[in-house]
Structure 1
Amino acid sequence: MDIYIKEAVIHQFSPEDTELVLADKLLTITPKIEEYLRKKIERSYSDEAKTGQLGADSPFLDYLSDDLLASSITIANLWKEEFSVSENLKTNDLVFVRFEKNGVEQFAFLRISLRENLVHVGAESDSPLKLTQNNLPSAGSAPDEALILNLQTHKYHLIEKRIKYNGTFLNYFSDNVLQDSPAISAKKSIKAVEQTAQKIAENFNQADFQFQSKVKSAIFNHLEEDNELSPEKLANQLFDNNLTARLSFVDELKDVIPEKVSFEEIDSSRQLKKFENQKLSLSNGIELIVPTTIYEDAESVEFIQNDNGTYSILIKNIEDIKSK
């Protein structure tokens, strides 16, 4: 991912008086700061990010201009009005960044919750540790909230956390700040695929361990080969011999996944890792971990259903065995 940080500014939100400490100039971008911001932005393209595209008439686009400092102040004040009603307020840095990704202009808003940390500050034997305030989390951790907006296409990635207000949880950022309805995250989309497939399989008496493994294999293969998930393609693979089941699967997913789930700009490595192995727990206490690519190979693993209803697992062509 080719990211070039161009400009950045940081404002701070204080929970004590629910006010903003506004910067009056842009941040000086040192190599360490550039690395920190770049890693935070990279973590925002995650499978937990919701996605969408702002229309030409979006009010949020009116807040953006070529003056990053002015734009950031406008958006920070709007954010504060919506966020400050939360019942659990902490000190936050509000980071606004203008950057290029693969040569295309992007805008980023990052909310980073600050921490209290113990640090070793002196040589005094009785009290060398001090509690420090307003510490930034490590560069490798994801921001608490993030909006990454492509300034050319107006497509966006959004990591948002609901706030609690009067006993109700609100998607305050997408509803009130961004004023848009994003699609659910890739992570939740995959969970919906698994749950819907299991439900349809149960309705048609197919919900055994082999079907569950088939679902995992299908998701893994589609992500690895296509970098996307299509409900229609999955339906054809999972319920190839049952037209009614295929149609039911696609129809039930429409409310959650109107279109295919694309990993075009999203890091799919966590999902691939999740599905790269088949994990089986047997009734006799044996547990098996089989790579998905081998699991599907009949020359390597064979599942046999015996006449008495039990199963046998035949593992073939093993060249070497080691004890771990």
Structure 2
Amino acid sequence: MSVSISKAILHILDPSLGMPVLSENLMSFNDQMREYTEKHILKCYNDADLKKTRFISEVGLFKGLVKEYANTDDFMKFSRAITEFFFKLIAENPDVRPCDLLFVQANVFNKDYMIILKLNYKKGYIHFTKQEEGTKNIIIEQPCALPAASQKIDEFIFVDTNSMEVFVKEKKCQVYNEPCYYISKHLLECREEKPDKEKVKIITQTTDKIIKEFYDDDIMMKTRVKNIIRENVEESLKFNVEEISEQVFDDHEIKKAYTEEIKMKGIKEPEVKVNFNYANKIKTKQKIVTDEGIEINIPYEIISNKDKVEFINNPDGTISIVLKNIDSIIDK
């Protein structure tokens, strides 16, 4: 079994009630509830936006509570303290979405985790029966509906209770008049990390901008960058920004401009690490769209192979794409 739940508790954080509704008992699981929770845990565990972070301080609130829980096993106390902190954030910052917090102690793929699922409220609709000179059935809005088992959860925390590693998915919100990854900053007191998808997007967009500015928007150079990222991520779940600059650009001033813009956009470390979940989602094909709407998907590993694909710059300024040595064509 990939997920084994040992205990769980649900607390309600609806700000319209004026205070959190704290459960006084652990959850009892029927088959339906267990399936709902396990499905969400697995989806969260495999989420491409999950990012690893680390505590800034050894004496922060959250880390202290996790350590205390590891020593005392007081699940109720831990969950209540976190819920009260979260409720204060929600009450004082309208940008943070109201929710229920589901705390789960579980073993996931043979590792013990404290899991906090922030079940953000969604609008739903239910039927309602009114008695007005007879029975009248109507549809009413339910503003505090929880995510369905088939939906993704927007925000959650996994803490490895043995290694104290922290994994989080979160939204950037306006909290105390500052846009930030508020769970990392205010609750976990961890280093604020950009999601892997955002880091790769920043690097590819910055590279595209430099190529457009200095190399006449050379499509082969853009493809080369994406191929370097893909190959390194497949091999080691990381890639080096300076190596991309060295391998792609041939002018010192262009390399300098590229590096400075990457740093200005918030990526200061030379090596970017990518989690396994996101690595599996990195594109393996280059999509090319012509001005007439023709779309061609070419695998990165062959796009620079002139025995398979050739881009020809014609004297009149147009481009010809030649596909070579094709064994068969399939209609899809």
Sort the Cα spacing of 1:218 and 1:21 in 2 relative to 1 into closer, same or farther, 3 A: same
* Structure 2 contact 53–191 (Cα < 8 Å) conserved: yes
- The Cα shift of 1:38 comes to 3.0
235, 255, 273: which one pairs with 1:262? 273
Sort the Cα spacing of 1:267 and 1:213 in 2 relative to 1 into closer, same or farther, 3 A: closer
Q: Describe how 1:101-180 pairs up with structure 2 within 5 A.
A: 101-119=108-126, 127=137, 134-164=144-174, 169-180=179-190
State the identity %: 24
Sort the Cα spacing of 1:290 and 1:87 in 2 relative to 1 into closer, same or farther, 3 A: same
Q: Which residue of 2 is the match for residue 225 of structure 1?
A: 235
**Secondary structure of residue in 1 paired with 2:201:** helix
Q: Which residue of 2 is the match for residue 41 of structure 1?
A: 41
> Which one-letter code corresponds to 2:61 in the other structure?
P
- Show CA shifts across 1:265-303 (max 9, x none): 534333x2xx22212122344332223233233222111
Q: Which residue of 2 is the match for residue 287 of structure 1?
A: 295
- The Cα shift of 1:164 comes to 4.2
* Structure 1 contact 144–159 (Cα < 8 Å) conserved: yes
The root-mean-square deviation of aligned C-alpha atoms, in Å, is 3.2
Sort the Cα spacing of 1:25 and 1:292 in 2 relative to 1 into closer, same or farther, 3 A: same
**Secondary structure of residue in 2 paired with 1:5:** strand
> Which one-letter code corresponds to 1:57 in the other structure?
V
CA distance in 1, matches of 2:223, 2:117: 38
Whether 1:276 aligns to 2:276 is: no
- The Cα shift of 1:320 comes to 3.0
**Secondary structure of residue in 1 paired with 2:277:** coil
CA distance in 2, matches of 1:248, 1:105: 45
* Structure 2 contact 122–146 (Cα < 8 Å) conserved: yes
Unaligned runs of 5+ in 2: 130-134
- Show CA shifts across 1:203-254 (max 9, x none): 5436322222222222222233332232234334333x44554455445434
196, 200, 203: which one pairs with 1:190? 200
Unaligned runs of 5+ in 1: none
58, 69, 75: which one pairs with 2:76? 69
Sort the Cα spacing of 1:298 and 1:34 in 2 relative to 1 into closer, same or farther, 3 A: farther
**Secondary structure of residue in 2 paired with 1:81:** helix
CA distance in 1, matches of 2:111, 2:89: 30
Aligned length: 319
Q: Which residue of 1 is the match for residue 86 of structure 2?
A: 79
**Secondary structure of residue in 1 paired with 2:92:** coil
**Secondary structure of residue in 2 paired with 1:184:** coil
Whether 1:100 aligns to 2:107 is: yes
Q: Describe how 1:10-25 pairs up with structure 2 within 5 A.
A: 10-25=10-25
* Structure 1 contact 189–256 (Cα < 8 Å) conserved: yes
Whether 1:58 aligns to 2:69 is: no
CA distance in 1, matches of 2:116, 2:142: 26
Sort the Cα spacing of 1:191 and 1:149 in 2 relative to 1 into closer, same or farther, 3 A: same
TM-score (ref. length: structure 1)? 0.83
CA distance in 2, matches of 1:166, 1:262: 30
CA distance in 2, matches of 1:165, 1:251: 29
**Secondary structure of residue in 2 paired with 1:44:** helix
CA distance in 2, matches of 1:19, 1:11: 11
CA distance in 2, matches of 1:2, 1:246: 46
Q: Which residue of 1 is the match for residue 132 of structure 2?
A: none
CA distance in 2, matches of 1:131, 1:203: 51
* Structure 2 contact 118–154 (Cα < 8 Å) conserved: yes
Whether 1:253 aligns to 2:292 is: no
Q: Which residue of 1 is the match for residue 9 of structure 2?
A: 9
- Give the stretch that moved more between structures: 147-156 or 256-265: 256-265
